[in-house]
Amino acid sequence: MEELASFSSQALVEIKGISKSFNNIKVLNNIDLTVNKGEFFSLLGPSGCGKTTLLRIIAGFEIPDSGKVIIDGIDYTDVPPYKRPVNMVFQNYALFPHLNVFENIAFGLRYQNLGKIEIRRRVFEALELVQLVGFENRKPSELSGGQKQRVALARALVLKPKVLLLDEPLNALDPKLRKEMQIELKKLQHEVKVTFIFVTHDQEEALSISDRIAVINRGEIEQVGTGYEIFEKPRTEFVANFMGARNLFTGVLHRLDKHMVEIELPNLVRFKVFNNKNLKLNSGEFKFVVRPEKIFIRKTPVKNQAFVSIPAIVESKLYYGASTRWILKANGFSIFVEEQNRGIKLKNEFSPGEEVYAVWEKRNMVFLEA
C-alpha cells in the first residue's frame, strides 16, 4: 500500500494493440493504452464507441481478436475473469437478489481462503467505507439506487483488486445524487488508493472526476490526457466537438517568415499570428477551434493586435441563468458564444439582427491536427 500512496507513474494496465469485432463489425481497432498505478482513469466517448467493450476485455468478459491485456506485468489476455486481479462495478449494479447485503459483499471473499471471522471483519470494513453499516441484513430490493451503488462498490473493493472497473456506474442515478456520488467516488478512490478505470459518456463527469481521460470514438482512441488537456487543447475535430468546442473554423495559412504566419478566414478576415509550437503547419488549409466561452461580443472591432475581430450578425440568444448563449452569423457561418453572467445586471444586451463583432484572443485558438 505504501508504494501506491506516492502517486507514481508506473504502468499498471497496458493495453497493446487490442482489436475486437462483433459480427464482422469492428468495435475496437488497434487500441494502445497505458493506465498508471493509482490513477483515476476515464474512458470517455459517445454510446457505441467501444468504451464498454474495452472495459469488458480488461475484466475478461470478452476475448479480444488480437492484442494483449497486461496487468502489473502479467499477460491476462486469455485468463478467465475469476482469475484476474480486477473487479467490476456494473452499470445496473448486478447485486445478487437472493442474497442480503452482507452476503453480497462476502461473495468474493469466500474464494480467498479466509476464516469466518476474517470475512466478517473485511465485510464490515467495506460497509464502513461506503457508510452502510446497519444495512447488512437488507436484501437488494430494499435498498435505494444510491445504496445499491455503494453495495456494488463495497462488493468489488472488499477484494482489494489491483484495478477497479466501473461501467457507467452513475447512469441509473438521478442528476443530484449523481453529482454527490461523483464527489464520493473521487474521495473513495483517494482513500483506498486503488486504480480506477471509469467508463462514461458524460464529459463533465469525466473532467471533474479523472486524473486522465482517453477519448474514444468509433473504436479508436482520439486523445489521451488530463482533463485540462482534453478540454482546452483538443487535438482532433471529434474531441473538440465532443468537449463542446463548437466553433470550428477552416482557415488558410500563409507563412510569412520564420516567426510570423498570416491566417485567412475566406471572405471574413485576415490576421497575423506569431509562430507558436502548436502551429506546425505549412502553408495551406487547416482547422482550428475557439471555445464558445472564449469569444465575446463587441459593438466595435478591438484594435489590440492580440485579438481577432470578425464582423457578424446576432441571430439568437438563449438565457441559461448562470450564462447566456448567443448564436452569431458571420458570412453564413455560425459562431457560438457563451457569456458568464457575473453580475445581477445584464450587460451587453444585443438584439437579433444587430451588427456586432465576435472577438477572441489569438492565443485562445486551438489548432487541430490535420
Partner 1 sequence: MRNKIYWVFLIPSVVILVFFFLFPLLIMLYYSFLQRGIYGGFEPIEDVREYIFSFAWVKNYIRVFDSLYVPIYLRSIYIAFLTTIICLFIGYPVAYFIALKVKPENKILYLFFIIVPLWTSFLIRTYAWILILRDEGLINLVLLKIGLINKPLPLLYNEFSVLLGLVYGELPFMILPIYASLEKIDIGLIEASKDLGADELGTFKRVILPLTLPGIVVGVTIVFIPTLGSFIVSDLLGGAKSILVGNLIQNQFVVARDKPFGSAIAFVLSSFVLILLYIYRKIWGKEIEVL
Beta bridge partners of 33: 15
Q: Angle, nearest 10°, between helix axes 175-192 and 145-157?
A: 20
Distance in Å, CB of 82 to partner 1, minimum:
5
Q: Does position 153 bind partner 1 by CB under 8 A?
A: no
Q: Does position 87 bind partner 1 by CB under 8 A?
A: yes
Distance in Å, CB of 97 to partner 1, minimum:
7
Q: Does position 107 bind partner 1 by CB under 8 A?
A: yes
Report the C-alpha gap between 144 and 136 in whole angstroms.
14
- Binding part of the chain for partner 1, among 56-64, 141-149, 208-216, 297-305 by CB under 8 A, reads 56-64
The residue assigned the cell 471509469 is 198
Cβ nearer to partner 1, comparing 32 with 118: 118
DSSP state of 80: -
Pick one of 6, 8, 66, 92: the residue that binds partner 1 (CB under 8 A): 92
- Binding part of the chain for partner 1, among 4-12, 74-82, 117-125, 210-218 by CB under 8 A, reads 74-82
C-alpha pair distances (Å), 173 with each of 136, 277, 338:
22, 43, 29
DSSP 93-136: B---TTS-HHHHHHTTGGGTT--HHHHHHHHHHHHHHTT-TT-T
Contact positions with partner 1 (CB under 8 A) in 156-185: 156, 159
Q: What sign has the CA pseudo-torsion 234, 235, 241, 245?
A: positive
Distance in Å, CB of 44 to partner 1, minimum:
22
Pick one of 5, 23, 82, 175: the residue that binds partner 1 (CB under 8 A): 82
Start-to-end CA span in the chain (Å): 44
- Binding part of the chain for partner 1, among 76-84, 240-248, 250-258, 325-333 by CB under 8 A, reads 76-84
Question: How many CA atoms lie less than 13 Å away from 335 in the CB half-sphere?
Answer: 27
Distance in Å, CB of 134 to partner 1, minimum:
23
Bridge-based pairing of strands 40-44 and 212-217 is parallel
Distance in Å, CB of 25 to partner 1, minimum:
17
Cβ nearer to partner 1, comparing 170 with 337: 170
Q: Does position 58 bind partner 1 by CB under 8 A?
A: no
Q: Does position 145 bind partner 1 by CB under 8 A?
A: no
Cβ(213)–Cβ(204) under 8 Å? no
Pick one of 73, 97, 321, 332: the residue that binds partner 1 (CB under 8 A): 97
Which chain residues interact with partner 1 by CB under 8 A?
59-61, 80-82, 86-88, 90-92, 94-98, 107-108, 110-112, 155-156, 159
